[in-house]
Chains A and B, each alone.
Chain A
Amino acid sequence: MIQLRNVSYVYHEGTIQEKVALKDINIEIPSPSFLAVIGANGSGKSTFARLLNGLFIPTYGDVIVDGLNSKNFENLWEIRKRVGLVFQNPDNQIVGMTVEEDVAFGCENLGLPPKEIEERIAFALKSVGMEEYRKYPPHLLSGGQKQRIAIAGILAMLPKYIVLDEPTTMLDPKGRKEIMEVIKKLYKEEKTSIILITHHMEEVVWADRIAVFNKGEIVLEGSPKEIFMEDEKLEKWGLSVPLVTKLSKCLVERGFEIPHPILTIEELSVWL
């Protein structure tokens, strides 16, 4: 479990550029679970992501990963082994000359024996559906494929938690779908905990829990159904609900007997 207790994060503390990015955040992320994080630009989502694996240390409060406090420098290595972080732009995350070298990078840093690294590369590439590209130079891959390689590099370290900070923003719709399939599979089959930060409301319906950020605070937390009931609040915070939810709400208002909220097209089609 990852616990955040009264966590605040302040950039440039004590200078004129001081900016409070997160204010008094309290949240528990059990393992395994799938948490989606949504919020407008500047609401503190990316800062939150970087706190989870000790890349940032809270200005106030504590981040505790499986009992390890990130404030304690000796814990950082172990925390980063457990919590993998995937960023937006795959081009900034690729280090190897071939796909397998790239995926091996993290494992090599963990000092694992070559045979085990070998096995982990095979496992990681298989999980993201990229086995046949093992010997390929990464720069010749598409954006979606590169992002899958970046995820494989994290997977190979067998983290218990994977934090993905808008992993699909740089991708086209097809690439986006590929990544979402990988994420869903990791959660269901490998029981890896997922923390997904995204602007795409269609992606968050798969999570078991959603946290909504606004101006550095968690303003709403609940299941996708609970969150998307609150369409007016979401709009106020610069967010939206999936299109199908909007449509089914209109139908409910016009007297149709269908449940609210509906989150997927498949679900709606059952009722009409």
Chain B
Amino acid sequence: MALISLKNVQYIYLEKTPLEREAIKDISLDIREGESIGIIGKTGSGKSTLIQLISGLLYPTQGEIFIKDRDIRKWNSKELCKIIGIVFQYPEHQFFAETVFEEVAFGPRNIGISDKKLENCVREALITVGLPYEEIKDRSPFNLSGGEKRRLAIASILAMNPEVLILDEPTANIDPKGKIEIMNYINRWIQSKNKTLILVSHDLDEIIKTVKRIIVLKEGKIIFDGPIEKLFLNYEKVEEAELELPEILKLRKVLEDKGYPLEGAFTVHEIVERIVAFKEHISIWKS
């Protein structure tokens, strides 16, 4: 059984007005429990619309979406929140509470977590993203650093313990070290609890490190859906989607063109080993 299933979904903004725009065109897609999926595509390709459809914030103009085999329109929003958690771009712009505790407690309280369990739930969510509960719980969310704010925003969704976590550019505008930290916290949570992850990002280097399956959108359509290695062997697809190759693949491409055998090598370490092995091989052959 697919956890999430889209059947011929179309979405039109401002239908029947002069500004009508078809953002999603006939998308069909199954997402199974425990999968980690990356969604990429250039600005305006329909990524944000797609994740809003999956999380029930928009209903399709045409076609159907099923969550656990039940039509998404039949779910009540609180029940759906327990299954799908979505962290928007720049989530810290949505902070409203006076304390970190209240910020995180808002979601769980709304979906009916009892006051008795609430403290534990908030504590656990904050610890999951590496924020020290006792030190931080009474502080104002607005006085945290950029990286802390982002982690707090993610914690406020994790506190609802959703089965599927959707992240829209979770590390945009975070420094390189902060990016790695945030992704590590998220990965640990996903893996230890066998959650499903949908990651939208422009940062293909980050996508490569995190997901196994990748969906490429172009002008509202899926132009690729499959394992990530397969996409990146297919430079033309990346170009078709008008995406920039991630640095590591640009490097690979240049080195492969120079004749280095790099099949299956996707990290700096792996590539270095291949180059070293290749050079040794050549020098033995020459001598």
Contact of B250 with A166 in the complex, beta carbons under 8 Å: no
* A261 sits at the interface (CB 8 A): no
In angstroms, how far is the closest chain B Cβ from the Cβ of A157? Answer: 27
Is the CB–CB distance between A247 and B43 below 8 Å? no
Task: Out of A42, A175, A235, A250, name the residue touching B145 (CB < 8 Å).
Answer: A42
Contacting pair A254 B43 (CB below 8 A): no
User: Which of B73-81, B113-121, B173-181, B227-235 lies on the face that meets chain A?
Assistant: B173-181
Which residues of the partner chain B approach A88 to less than 8 Å between Cβ atoms?
173
Judge if A243 is at the interface, Cβ distance under 8 Å.
Answer: yes
Q: Could you tell me if B268 and A199 are in contact, using CB atoms closer than 8 angstroms?
A: no
A127-138 to B contact mask, C-beta < 8 Å, 1/0: 000000000000
Residue B226 interfacial (CB < 8 Å): no
Give bound CA distance, A142 to B44, whole Å. Answer: 8
Q: Which of B99-147 contact A (CB under 8 A)?
A: 143, 145-147
Does A29 count as interface, using CB distance less than 8 angstroms?
no
Does the CB pair A251–B272 fall under 8 Å?
Answer: yes
Q: Given A201-B176, A238-B176, A247-B271, do A272 and B247 touch, yes or no (CB 8 Å)?
A: no
How many residues of chain B are within 8 Å of chain A by beta carbon?
35
Q: How far is the CB of B153 from chain A (nearest CB, A)?
A: 14
Q: Is the CB of A251 within 8 A of B275?
A: yes
Interface residues of A in 175-210 (CB under 8 A from B): 175-177, 199, 201-202
| A240 to B258 CA separation, bound complex (whole angstroms) | 27
**A140: nearest chain-B partner, CB-CB:** B19
Verify B177–A235 contact, CB threshold 8 A.
yes
Task: Render B160-197 as a binary contact track against A, CB cut-off 8 A, 1 for contact.
Answer: 00000000000011111110000000000000000000
Q: Scoring A residues 24 to 58 as 1 if CB is less than 8 Å from chain B, else 0, what string do you get? A: 00000000000000011110000000000000000
The docked-state distance in angstroms from the alpha carbon of A238 to that of B146 is 13
Cβ B177 vs Cβ A269 within 8 A: no
Quote the shortest CB–CB distance from A68 to chain B (angstroms).
32
Q: Is B58 close to A, CB under 8 A?
A: no
Interface size class of A (residues with CB under 8 A): 35 or more
- Given A174-B242, A269-B254, A269-B258, A144-B43 contact (CB < 8 Å): yes
Inside 8 A of B173's CB, which chain A residues have their CB?
Answer: 41, 88, 166, 169, 199
Chain B residues with CB under 8 A of A232: none
State whether B176 touches A172 (Cβ < 8 A).
no
Using Cβ atoms and an 8 Å threshold, which residues of chain A touch B247? Answer: 202, 242-244
In the bound complex, do residue A247 and residue B42 qualify as a contact, i.e. CB atoms below 8 Å apart? no
Nearest residue (CB) in B for A250 is B272
- Indicate whether A243 sits within 8 Å of B248 (C-beta atoms), given known contacts A17-B143, A40-B177: yes
CB pair B145–A41 under 8 Å, yes or no, is yes
List A contacts of B213 (CB < 8 A). none
Q: Are B177 and A238 in contact (CB under 8 A)?
A: yes
Residues of the B chain whose Cβ atoms lie less than 8 Å from the Cβ of A173: 42, 202, 204, 243-244
Q: How far is the CA of A265 from the CA of B276 in the complex (A)?
A: 18
Cβ of A229 under 8 Å from chain B? no
Is A250 touching B147 in the complex (CB atoms < 8 A)? Answer: no
* Complex: A40 Cα to B202 Cα, angstroms: 20
B-facing mask of A248-270, CB < 8 A → 1, else 0?
Answer: 00110010100000000110110
Q: Which residue of B lies closest to A169 (CB)?
A: B173
B-chain residues with CB within 8 Å of residue A5 when the two chains form the complex: none
Q: Establish whether residues A250 and B243, one from each chain, have CB atoms under 8 Å apart when the complex forms.
A: no
A84 at the interface (CB under 8 A from B): no
Which listed residue, A40, A175, A246, A251, touches B175 by the CB 8 Å rule? A40
Cβ–Cβ contact A239 & B272, under 8 A? no
CA distance A174 to B269 in the complex (A): 28
Say yes or no: is B251 at the interface (Cβ < 8 Å to chain A): yes
User: Is B176 a contact of A41 with CB atoms below 8 Å?
Assistant: no
Tell me the smallest distance from the CB of A210 to a CB of chain B, in Å: 15
Q: Does A143 contact B (CB under 8 A)?
A: yes
A269 → B minimal CB distance (Å):
5
For A254, give the chain B residue with the smallest CB separation.
B276
User: A41, A171, A265: which contacts B178 (Cβ < 8 A)?
Assistant: A41
Instruction: Return the CB mask of B238-278 against A: 1 if under 8 Å, else 0.
Output: 00001110011011001100101000000011011001100
Tell me whether B147 and A239 are in contact (CB under 8 A): no
Which residues of chain A have C-beta atoms less than 8 A from B202's C-beta? 172-173
Q: How far is the CA of A171 from the CA of B255 in the complex (A)?
A: 28
Task: Please judge, given known A-B contacts A174-B242, A244-B247, whether A238 and B175 are in contact too, CB under 8 Å.
Answer: yes
Of the candidates B204, B242, B251, the one whose C-beta lies within 8 Å of that of A247 is: B251
Further pairs besides A173-B204, A174-B243, A254-B276: 4, Cβ < 8 Å: A171-B43, A173-B244, A238-B177, A250-B272
The 3 closest A-B pairs by CB, nearest first: A173-B244, A238-B177, A41-B146
